[in-house]
């Protein structure tokens, strides 16, 4: 076994420098894998083999050994070392070689994601997975399973801006329908974090209307966020239900989202006090579903809408008049007005430049 492994490393070192030798190396790596040469080796043995290779000079062979190396369970200290090893490989590997075995590359990247999650350091996986996505496909219009993993890590690490960067690209195809489904769900949440509510509604509606997704847990959560974002952006609920949904499914979905639908009904009255009372009464539900922060933005949006409506109607109202009519204090009314002035100033500056 030891001699066979050393022979394999020698072949990797000898056949990695020229493009015309890569096909032959790939064949020998597949043969070694078929014989169980790598899968039956100990973690320490595989680690020593990796130290004899360089990620950029021997990318294909390094990937085969790295996949076997990362397949075994490990301690926390070892996990930290593995994360560094995989991250360095992703950064240095030659894209043309790893694309010969995309499944192996994705497998290694997903193990990196699992390791950083187990270590509770999601931010350590953000940069490497972003690089991995770029290297896996030369075209930016294709979604892989790495996209949703990357967006999930961005959410957990609160790196919304970095996550949003791949959402700006035009998408033309996906490896699997599930990849697109999760991409849209996590992407919608990234857009909420960036306050890009129009894009969030677009992505969340893709989740809600996906075939056979009506009763999935993700679809239900997407509907709840869709309702909240609709209120923030448009001041009303936007209907987004697949035409193929049965009456039973519609009733079941509504029962799971009822407190959000009720929130929309209270919002439509324009009564701040009633809205705040409803939110307080259902605070525990919203908090347990991790939507309380978004619900508070819904309340804030109603303040601004009421102030905007009054401003259009009564341009000479005092802060005290505004406070009385929107059920707040003069100080809070001033704060909301100033925020709206800043937003309007930014808007006019953007379109005048």
Q: What is the pLDDT of residues 271-297, one digit of tens each?
A: 999 999 999 999 999 999 999 999 999
**Contact indicator for 230, 238 with CB cutoff of 8 Å:** yes
SS3 243: coil
Closest of 30, 293, 18, 23 to residue 8, by C-alpha: 30
pLDDT tens digits, 90-135: 999 999 999 999 999 999 999 999 999 999 999 999 999 999 999 9
* Beta-strand relationship, 173-174 and 142-143: parallel
Quote the pLDDT of residue 276.
94
Report how far residue 274's alpha carbon sits from residue 259's, in angstroms, rounded to the nearest whole number: 14
- The reported pLDDT for the residue numbered 15 is 92
pLDDT digits (tens, 9 = 90+) for 157-194: 999 999 999 998 877 778 788 888 899 999 999 999 99
Please report which residue ranges of the chain form alpha helices under DSSP H.
2-15, 19-34, 43-50, 59-69, 76-92, 95-98, 102-118, 123-136, 145-157, 160-167, 177-193, 197-208, 217-234, 247-256, 258-268, 272-281, 283-288, 292-313, 319-326, 330-352
pLDDT of res. 2: 80
Give the Cα separation of 189 and 197 in Å (integer).
Answer: 10
Q: Average pLDDT of the chain?
A: 86
| pLDDT: which is higher, 40 or 323 | 40
For the chain, the structural domain boundaries read 1-72+99-111, 314-352
How far apart CA 256 and CA 85 sit, in angstroms, is: 44
pLDDT digits (tens, 9 = 90+) for 192-230: 999 999 999 999 999 988 775 556 888 899 999 999 999
Distance, in Å, from the CA atom of 303 to the CA atom of 306, rounded to the nearest integer, reads: 5
Q: In the chain, what percentage of residues exceed pLDDT 70?
A: 84
The backbone torsions φ and ψ at residue 143, rounded to the nearest 5 degrees and listed phi first, read -95, 130
For residue 11, CA distances in Å to 44, 123, 134, 304 come to 20, 37, 29, 68
């Amino acid at each position: 076994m030891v001699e066979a492994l050393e022979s394999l490393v020698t072949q990797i070192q000898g056949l990695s420098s020229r493009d015309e030798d890569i096909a032959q190396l790939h064949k020998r790596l597949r043969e070694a894998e078929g014989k169980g040469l790598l899968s039956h080796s100990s973690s320490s043995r595989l680690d020593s083999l990796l130290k004899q290779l360089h990620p950029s000079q021997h990318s294909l062979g390094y990937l085969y050994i790295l996949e076997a190396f990362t397949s075994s369970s490990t301690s926390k200290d070892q996990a930290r070392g593995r994360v560094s090893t995989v991250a360095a490989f992703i950064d240095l590997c030659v894209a043309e070689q790893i694309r010969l075995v995309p499944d192996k590359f994705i497998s290694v990247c997903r193990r990196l994601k699992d390791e950083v999650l187990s270590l509770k350091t999601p931010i350590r996986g953000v940069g490497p997975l972003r690089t991995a996505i770029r290297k896996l496909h030369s075209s930016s219009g294709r979604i892989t399973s790495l996209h949703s993993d990357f967006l999930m890590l961005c959410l957990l690490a609160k790196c919304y801006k970095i996550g949003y960067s791949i959402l700006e690209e035009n998408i033309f195809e996906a490896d699997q329908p599930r990849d697109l489904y999760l991409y849209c769900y996590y992407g919608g949440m990234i857009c909420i974090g960036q306050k890009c509510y129009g894009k969030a509604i677009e992505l969340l509606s893709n989740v809600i209307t996906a075939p056979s997704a009506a009763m999935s847990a993700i679809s239900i959560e997407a509907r709840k966020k869709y309702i909240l974002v609709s209120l923030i952006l448009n001041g009303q609920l936007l209907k987004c239900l697949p035409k193929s949904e049965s009456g039973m499914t519609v009733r079941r979905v509504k029962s799971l989202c009822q407190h959000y639908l009720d929130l929309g009904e209270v919002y439509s009255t324009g009564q701040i006090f009633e809205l705040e009372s409803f939110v307080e009464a259902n605070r525990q539900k919203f908090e347990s579903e991790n939507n309380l922060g978004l619900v508070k933005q819904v309340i804030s949006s109603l303040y601004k809408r009421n102030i905007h409506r009054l401003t259009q109607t009564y341009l000479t109202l005092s802060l005290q008049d505004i406070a009385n009519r929107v059920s707040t204090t003069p100080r809070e009314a001033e704060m909301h007005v100033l925020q709206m002035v800043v937003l309007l100033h930014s808007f006019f500056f953007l379109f005048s430049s």
